[in-house]
Amino acid sequence: MKLYDDDAPVARSAPLGAGPAKSEERVRGREIPLRAMRGMIASKMLQSLQSSAQLTHHAGAELGAVQALREHCRARNLTPPSVQDILLRLLVQTLAEFPALNATLEDNRITEHPAVHLGLAVPLPDDLLLAPALFDAQAIRLGALPQARRHLVAQAQAGKLGVRELAGATFTVTNLGRSRVHHFTPILNVPQVAILGIGGTTWRAAPAADGGVRLAEVIGLSLTFDHRAVNGAPAAAFLDRLGERIETLAPDAFDHELID
């Protein structure tokens, strides 16, 4: 399936020395047609906001236990999984406890899905974005998750995905972890009822075991949900549980998933 229109006009900057065209662009500004894939994505985002009751909860979780797991892997000569992949694995486990979040809402009917088809927001050239599905994510071991994720991203960026991958997710994750943005408001990928935004990290003062103060690395978590399907309390409970999983992760928690 093509993800673009070969016949759609493409906005181009005037070449150097183009004279009148360059002068006109300087006065009027560069025009970018809202067509093809950009137009399709824009329409979907507008539809999302107009057709659902979106609300966002913000939370944070300390990453000390996650970093300790990665150090544990290095000490055992294992390739440490990225923070992102560890968070994705913990997210999938948490969704198993909160089926109301792994759901879609269509035709006034909520469907809670038995499998987690995890949508991963993938940036494309020209600031475009797709969220293809990593199917049956609950069955993907942490050791296999990086390769599965990278393959999906590569397929998306190469324009090789079909309708099934582009429309089959039951819950989506979007990641701004490399930025200074700690919290943000993700837009639902309807008909899904929830999406998690992973923000950047910051250092905060936290209570120490000896009664003093310590510095803690904290990652931002932002959950947007459709209030028609999920109320505020269970959405908050989901974030609480995910944060608890992140902060209490044992260093050897995934040894069985990292060793063949």
**What is the per-residue pLDDT across 81-102, written as a single tens digit (0 to 9) for each?**
999 999 999 999 999 999 999 9
Surface-to-core class of residue 182, CB atoms within 10 Å of its CB (0-12 exposed, 13-18 middle, 19+ buried): middle
Helix or strand run (H / E) with residue 72: helix 64-75
Residue 14's alpha-carbon distances to 9, 11, 36, 239, 248, in angstroms, are: 15, 10, 22, 49, 56
* Single-letter residue type at 14: A
- Give the Cα separation of 117 and 189 in Å (integer): 13
Predicted pLDDT at 12: 44
CA 132 distance to own-chain centroid: 11
Q: What is the pTM of this model?
A: 0.86
Predicted pLDDT at 41: 83
Write out the E strands in 42-179.
54-62, 103-106, 109-112, 118-120, 122-124, 128-130, 133-134, 171-175
Q: Which domains occur in the chain, in start order?
A: 16-51 (no CATH), 53-258 (3.30.559.10)
- Residue 133: beta bridge partners? 119
- Give the Cα separation of 27 and 182 in Å (integer): 37
Residue 49's alpha-carbon distances to 54, 105, 188, 189, in angstroms, are: 7, 14, 8, 10
**Residue segments in the chain with a per-residue pLDDT below the cut of 70:** 1-25, 260
Predicted pLDDT at 21: 58
Task: Confirm if 91 and 212 have CB atoms less than 8 A apart.
Answer: no
**Cis bond leading into 191, ω under 30°?**
yes
Secondary structure class of 56 (helix, strand, coil): strand
Tokens of 144: 């296999």
Residue 9's alpha-carbon distances to 31, 33, 43, 98, 99, in angstroms, are: 11, 7, 18, 45, 44
**pLDDT tens column, 145-179:** 999 999 999 999 999 999 999 999 999 999 999 89
Predicted pLDDT at 17: 53
Let me know if 227 is a catalytic residue.
Answer: yes
Please pick, among 151, 182, 183, 227, the residue that the annotation labels catalytic.
227
Predicted pLDDT at 2: 36
